[in-house]
Amino acid sequence: MKYSLLIFIISIMFVPQEVSASDVQIETAEKAAKAISIYRESRTSDVGFAAMAALMEFAEQSDLVYLEISEENAPWISDNNIKEELRHIMLAAYVIGNVAKQIETRTKENNHCAGAIEVAMLIEQVKGLLSESQIKLAKASVEQSINIGACTAT
Protein backbone atom coordinates (compact mmCIF):
# COMPACT_ATOMS: atom_id res chain seq x y z
CA MET A 1 0.00 0.00 0.00
CA LYS A 2 1.36 3.39 -0.95
CA TYR A 3 1.24 6.43 1.35
CA SER A 4 1.27 4.41 4.58
CA LEU A 5 3.08 7.18 6.49
CA LEU A 6 0.49 9.69 5.28
CA ILE A 7 -2.33 7.44 6.48
CA PHE A 8 -0.68 7.15 9.89
CA ILE A 9 -0.33 10.93 10.13
CA ILE A 10 -3.97 11.42 9.16
CA SER A 11 -5.09 8.92 11.77
CA ILE A 12 -3.23 10.86 14.45
CA MET A 13 -4.49 14.24 13.23
CA PHE A 14 -8.16 13.34 13.41
CA VAL A 15 -8.38 11.69 16.82
CA PRO A 16 -10.05 14.27 19.06
CA GLN A 17 -8.17 15.13 22.24
CA GLU A 18 -10.88 13.70 24.48
CA VAL A 19 -10.82 10.30 22.75
CA SER A 20 -8.10 7.89 23.80
CA ALA A 21 -6.50 5.39 21.45
CA SER A 22 -8.12 2.50 23.32
CA ASP A 23 -11.55 4.01 22.63
CA VAL A 24 -11.08 3.73 18.89
CA GLN A 25 -9.14 0.50 18.29
CA ILE A 26 -10.66 -1.82 15.73
CA GLU A 27 -9.56 -5.43 15.56
CA THR A 28 -12.38 -7.27 13.78
CA ALA A 29 -14.50 -6.85 10.67
CA GLU A 30 -17.58 -6.47 12.88
CA LYS A 31 -16.01 -3.59 14.81
CA ALA A 32 -14.88 -2.02 11.54
CA ALA A 33 -18.44 -2.23 10.19
CA LYS A 34 -19.72 -0.50 13.33
CA ALA A 35 -17.07 2.24 13.01
CA ILE A 36 -18.02 2.73 9.35
CA SER A 37 -21.63 3.19 10.39
CA ILE A 38 -20.62 5.73 13.04
CA TYR A 39 -18.43 7.58 10.54
CA ARG A 40 -21.19 7.72 7.94
CA GLU A 41 -23.71 9.04 10.47
CA SER A 42 -21.53 11.97 11.48
CA ARG A 43 -18.51 12.45 9.21
CA THR A 44 -17.64 15.90 10.55
CA SER A 45 -18.21 15.40 14.30
CA ASP A 46 -15.59 14.43 16.87
CA VAL A 47 -17.09 10.94 16.94
CA GLY A 48 -16.93 10.77 13.14
CA PHE A 49 -13.30 11.87 13.15
CA ALA A 50 -12.46 9.32 15.84
CA ALA A 51 -14.09 6.58 13.75
CA MET A 52 -12.18 7.88 10.71
CA ALA A 53 -8.87 7.68 12.54
CA ALA A 54 -9.59 4.20 13.87
CA LEU A 55 -10.59 2.98 10.41
CA MET A 56 -7.44 4.42 8.88
CA GLU A 57 -5.37 2.51 11.44
CA PHE A 58 -7.43 -0.63 10.82
CA ALA A 59 -6.84 -0.34 7.06
CA GLU A 60 -3.13 0.09 7.61
CA GLN A 61 -2.70 -2.83 10.02
CA SER A 62 -5.40 -5.36 9.16
CA ASP A 63 -4.87 -8.47 7.09
CA LEU A 64 -8.60 -8.43 6.29
CA VAL A 65 -8.39 -5.67 3.67
CA TYR A 66 -6.19 -4.71 0.75
CA LEU A 67 -5.86 -1.18 -0.61
CA GLU A 68 -4.17 0.36 -3.62
CA ILE A 69 -3.79 4.10 -3.29
CA SER A 70 -2.07 6.11 -5.97
CA GLU A 71 -2.18 9.57 -7.48
CA GLU A 72 -4.05 8.05 -10.41
CA ASN A 73 -6.98 6.61 -8.45
CA ALA A 74 -6.95 9.32 -5.75
CA PRO A 75 -5.78 12.41 -7.69
CA TRP A 76 -6.59 14.83 -4.86
CA ILE A 77 -3.69 13.56 -2.75
CA SER A 78 -1.23 15.52 -4.86
CA ASP A 79 -3.42 18.48 -5.86
CA ASN A 80 -1.97 21.38 -3.87
CA ASN A 81 -4.85 23.61 -4.98
CA ILE A 82 -7.07 21.63 -2.62
CA LYS A 83 -6.47 22.51 1.01
CA GLU A 84 -4.39 19.97 2.87
CA GLU A 85 -7.06 19.23 5.48
CA LEU A 86 -9.63 18.53 2.76
CA ARG A 87 -7.19 16.27 0.90
CA HIS A 88 -6.66 14.31 4.12
CA ILE A 89 -10.34 13.71 4.82
CA MET A 90 -10.90 12.84 1.16
CA LEU A 91 -8.18 10.20 1.39
CA ALA A 92 -9.70 8.89 4.61
CA ALA A 93 -13.13 8.67 2.95
CA TYR A 94 -11.57 6.82 0.01
CA VAL A 95 -10.00 4.30 2.37
CA ILE A 96 -13.21 3.92 4.40
CA GLY A 97 -15.36 3.32 1.32
CA ASN A 98 -12.92 0.75 0.06
CA VAL A 99 -12.71 -1.00 3.45
CA ALA A 100 -16.50 -0.92 3.82
CA LYS A 101 -17.01 -2.71 0.51
CA GLN A 102 -14.38 -5.32 1.31
CA ILE A 103 -15.95 -6.04 4.70
CA GLU A 104 -19.45 -6.11 3.24
CA THR A 105 -18.48 -8.54 0.48
CA ARG A 106 -15.91 -10.41 2.57
CA THR A 107 -13.50 -9.99 -0.32
CA LYS A 108 -9.92 -8.89 0.25
CA GLU A 109 -9.65 -6.98 -3.00
CA ASN A 110 -9.14 -3.29 -3.67
CA ASN A 111 -12.42 -1.62 -4.62
CA HIS A 112 -11.57 1.71 -6.17
CA CYS A 113 -15.15 2.62 -7.04
CA ALA A 114 -16.43 2.14 -3.49
CA GLY A 115 -13.69 4.47 -2.28
CA ALA A 116 -14.32 7.11 -4.93
CA ILE A 117 -18.07 7.08 -4.32
CA GLU A 118 -17.50 7.46 -0.56
CA VAL A 119 -15.42 10.57 -1.29
CA ALA A 120 -18.22 11.97 -3.46
CA MET A 121 -20.67 11.46 -0.56
CA LEU A 122 -18.26 13.19 1.83
CA ILE A 123 -17.96 16.21 -0.48
CA GLU A 124 -21.75 16.50 -0.64
CA GLN A 125 -21.96 16.45 3.13
CA VAL A 126 -19.24 19.05 3.77
CA LYS A 127 -19.97 21.44 0.92
CA GLY A 128 -21.60 23.96 3.27
CA LEU A 129 -18.44 24.04 5.40
CA LEU A 130 -16.01 24.90 2.60
CA SER A 131 -15.54 27.63 0.04
CA GLU A 132 -17.17 27.20 -3.35
CA SER A 133 -13.76 27.10 -5.03
CA GLN A 134 -12.59 24.27 -2.77
CA ILE A 135 -15.76 22.30 -3.43
CA LYS A 136 -15.32 22.75 -7.21
CA LEU A 137 -11.73 21.52 -7.03
CA ALA A 138 -12.67 18.57 -4.83
CA LYS A 139 -15.62 17.59 -7.03
CA ALA A 140 -13.45 17.77 -10.17
CA SER A 141 -10.84 15.56 -8.54
CA VAL A 142 -13.46 13.04 -7.42
CA GLU A 143 -15.03 13.04 -10.88
CA GLN A 144 -11.62 12.28 -12.38
CA SER A 145 -11.22 9.39 -9.93
CA ILE A 146 -14.70 8.03 -10.67
CA ASN A 147 -14.08 8.23 -14.41
CA ILE A 148 -10.80 6.30 -14.09
CA GLY A 149 -12.67 3.34 -12.63
CA ALA A 150 -15.80 3.75 -14.76
CA CYS A 151 -17.71 3.82 -11.48
CA THR A 152 -21.43 4.22 -11.05
CA ALA A 153 -23.24 5.21 -7.90
CA THR A 154 -24.40 2.26 -5.82
135 close to 123: Cβ distance less than 8 angstroms:
yes
Q: Is the pLDDT of residue 3 over 50?
A: no
Note the pLDDT of residue 90: 93
Note the pLDDT of residue 23: 55
88 close to 128: Cβ distance less than 8 angstroms:
no
Q: Average pLDDT for residues 104-120, to the nearest whole number?
A: 94
Q: Give the span between the Cα atoms of 145 and 26, in whole angstroms.
A: 28
Q: Give the span between the Cα atoms of 72 and 54, in whole angstroms.
A: 25
Q: How far is CA 73 from CA 36, 47, 86, 91, 121, in A?
A: 21, 28, 17, 11, 17
Better-scored residue on pLDDT, 95 or 17: 95
Better-scored residue on pLDDT, 10 or 138: 138
Note the pLDDT of residue 1: 44
What's the full length of the chain, in residues?
Answer: 154
118 close to 96: Cβ distance less than 8 angstroms:
yes
| 69-105 per-position pLDDT tens digit | 998 889 999 999 999 989 999 999 999 999 999 999 9
